[in-house]
Structure 1
Amino acid sequence: MTTITDLYPSRGTAETLTERCDPVVWRPPVGRAAPGPLSRTEIASYERDGFVSTEDLVTPAEVDAFRAEMHRLIDDPVLREDERTVIEPDSREVRSIFEIHKLSRVFADLVRDERLAGRARQILGSDVYVHQSRVNVKPGFRGSGFYWHSDFETWHAEDGLPRMRALSVSIALTDNRDTNGSLMIMPGSHRTFVGCAGATPADNYKTSLRMQEAGTPGDQALAEMAVRHGIRLFTGRAGSATWFDSNCMHGSGSNITPFPRSNLFIVFNSVENTPAEPFAAPGRRPGFIAARDFTPLPAGDNRPV
């Protein structure tokens, strides 16, 4: 059995800070970013800040179609009782639905779209597969938030992702306002890994998807990072998108406004970064949260040659 070195220890007795040892943009040996839809300026911004936003990534007609498909999934009584559907902790409202690219042909086509997969290949420097997909629903008045965290900390500790060679894209299906619980990121935080304190409970995903506790940084680390990096709030009309590195410190507040906020999240991982066994958890999470099918997404017709 091959032993994989744990480059980013976490879930120990004390919180630790580790400087990132992985690239942010994975370049071929010649040193320039792989070809793709992102401009050099956008690549530089992503590398510096850990994220980049794109206005009107998808058209208004596509937004309408995606929103209708989201509501079809939400309103399916059978799917509502499925483990892939997460319900808000204090209500019967749907919080998230996972593995949407397996549940819907519409979203299956979307993850293969070069506007998405092409950018992922360009940043990660390889073919990619979908590690996770979901829709997050924040209904008006009752949509709860997502506490500060690094996705990579969880994907490393609980899924076994060895390196920071994964990214997420959040696509707005409703207008993301500065008042309805929009995404917040600390620019530059992707260069420091926060190893969180505390052991991972068995089947932690059953509670963490509703209210995350294990894998969240302490107040002092968050305060120091916020002072050092600041906090950026992402707003934008429906159809806009934000790409962010797997190790960005991010979160979002609750939505107490009348205006719903719904977003599609797709996580792309490099086929050269497939998960091993969890580094700090009793066992693997289910495949609908952390895929174990590493088949590369096929290249679209407009993929750069």
Structure 2
Amino acid sequence: MLSPNQIDEYRRKGFLVQERVFDEEEIRLIKAGAEQEFAEGGERVTVEADTDVPRGVHGCHLHAEAFGRLVRSRRLLPIAEQLLQDQVYVHQFKINAKRAFKGEVWEWHQDYTFWHHEDGMPEPRALTAAIFLDDVTEFNGPLTFVPGGHGGGEIDAEVEGDGWANTLTASLKYSIDIDTMRQLIARNGMAAPKGPRGSVLWFDANIPHASVPNISPVDRGLVLITYNSVENRIDLSRGTRPEWLAARDFTPLTAMHAASF
């Protein structure tokens, strides 16, 4: 569980890093599972523009036992419940693979914009736990945040394209315009949390964030688990995306106490 100081930091900044939550053997197992997911291909896998280099894969916890255990980890689930002050379920699970010299930009955006407009999530009572599968440095495309930027709520976004498939492309369907970002950054600054593999980065549904290309010879892989309050379940009549992008099972998760994860 987080300390009061850690909770205060998360509330104030909109993000928090816990270093070395998972050990080397656990990260090796998670990475092996991730590579298997990428190798299977199919509609759940997206690639970098004009290449066959994997960019991400979604919904792995729905069929891979290891990832099903991971979302219920006693090192993740109790903290998600603590921060959201409620029981939770997994709204979305994805693995981002920002490959060495290949991983490209993610534009400035808020995750909640996608979850609200595409999935029918009523309120931003959700958060994401990002597990570092590699050491994250200033060179391999770390996530970059506007500290405290979540405090202003949802920001009007520029909309590009139609349909849910555009929510997965490099040119995001919902992005924050440059003038708005300039004002936010002038007021709040920027931060790019870094840390060793096995660390966990928690961040708020409304915090503006982006990432630059990976210009290094080192991969920057992330497992991103989005937990949502069970009281904030999505409106199925409004949702447009498939289950591997937006969950349909709102059963509260229970922590797993087995040795693995």
TM bucket, shorter chain:
over 0.9
Alpha-carbon distance in structure 2 between the residues aligned to 1:212 and 1:117: 32
Is the contact between residue 157 and residue 278 of structure 1 (CA under 8 Å) also seen in structure 2? no
User: TM-score, normalised to structure 2's length?
Assistant: 0.94
Q: In the alignment, which residue of structure 2 is the partner of 1:291?
A: 247
Alpha-carbon distance in structure 2 between the residues aligned to 1:196 and 1:238: 33
Task: Please report how far the alpha carbon of residue 69 of structure 1 lies from its aligned counterpart in structure 2 after TM superposition.
Answer: 1.2
| Percent identity over paired residues | 35
Is the contact between residue 156 and residue 278 of structure 1 (CA under 8 Å) also seen in structure 2? no
Task: Please report how far the alpha carbon of residue 197 of structure 1 lies from its aligned counterpart in structure 2 after TM superposition.
Answer: 4.0
SS at match of 2:232: coil
Alpha-carbon distance in structure 2 between the residues aligned to 1:144 and 1:135: 15
Runs (5+) with no aligned partner, structure 1:
1-36
Q: In the alignment, which residue of structure 2 is the partner of 1:189?
A: 149
Is residue 230 of structure 1 aligned with residue 230 of structure 2?
Answer: no
Q: Which structure 2 residues correspond to residues 87-102 of structure 1 after superposition, within 5 A? A: 87-102=47-62
User: TM-score, normalised to structure 1's length?
Assistant: 0.81
Larger radius of gyration: 1
Q: In the alignment, which residue of structure 2 is the partner of 1:104?
A: 64
SS at match of 1:195: coil
Q: Which stretches of structure 1, 4 residues or more, deviate above 3 A after TM superposition?
A: 299-302
SS at match of 1:106: helix
Runs (5+) with no aligned partner, structure 2:
none
Is the contact between residue 114 and residue 167 of structure 2 (CA under 8 Å) also seen in structure 1? no
CA RMSD, 1 decimal: 1.6
Task: Please report how far the alpha carbon of residue 59 of structure 1 lies from its aligned counterpart in structure 2 after TM superposition.
Answer: 1.0
Alpha-carbon distance in structure 1 between the residues aligned to 2:161 and 2:137: 35
**Which sits farther off after the overlay, 82-91 or 41-50?**
82-91
Q: In the alignment, which residue of structure 2 is the partner of 1:252?
A: 211
Q: In the alignment, which residue of structure 2 is the partner of 1:57?
A: 21
**CA distance change for structure 1 residues 277 and 107 in 2, over 3 Å: closer, same or farther?**
closer
**Which amino acid in the other structure matches residue 240 of structure 2?**
R
Is the contact between residue 55 and residue 236 of structure 1 (CA under 8 Å) also seen in structure 2? yes
SS at match of 1:272: helix
Is the contact between residue 159 and residue 278 of structure 1 (CA under 8 Å) also seen in structure 2? no
Alpha-carbon distance in structure 1 between the residues aligned to 2:100 and 2:234: 37
